[in-house]
Amino acid sequence: MQNNIPVDMISFCSTLGEVKPLRIRLENEEHERVSADIIEIAYRKQIKPSGLTILIYGCRLELFGEIRLAELHYHIDSGKWTLFRMVS
């Protein structure tokens, strides 16, 4: 699987403005849309490269019946989500 793939996201935003990803949808190598539920968020951090604000989430998700570790990026300025990398 490639790195830095744009994904569709279902997320939750609390009254405090905290964003929590819940489910992603992406296109696989065969150009089919597949969904994955986010089971657990292991960490969340914020970075500001080149003045852009990015929230980084380390997550466990269920994809193709397997539990996988992934890093998701939320680009606050554009409102876009990317699957930055699959760790396992």
Whether residue 88 is predicted with pLDDT greater than 80 in this model: the reply is no
Per-residue CA distances from 69 to 58, 63, 76, 77 (Å)? 7, 10, 22, 25
Range of the domain at 39: 5-86
pLDDT 10s digits, 3-26: 889 999 999 999 998 999 999 999
Res 74 pLDDT > 80: yes
- Residue 50 three-state SS: helix
pLDDT at 3: 86
Number of domains in the chain: 1
Note if the pTM is more than 0.75. yes
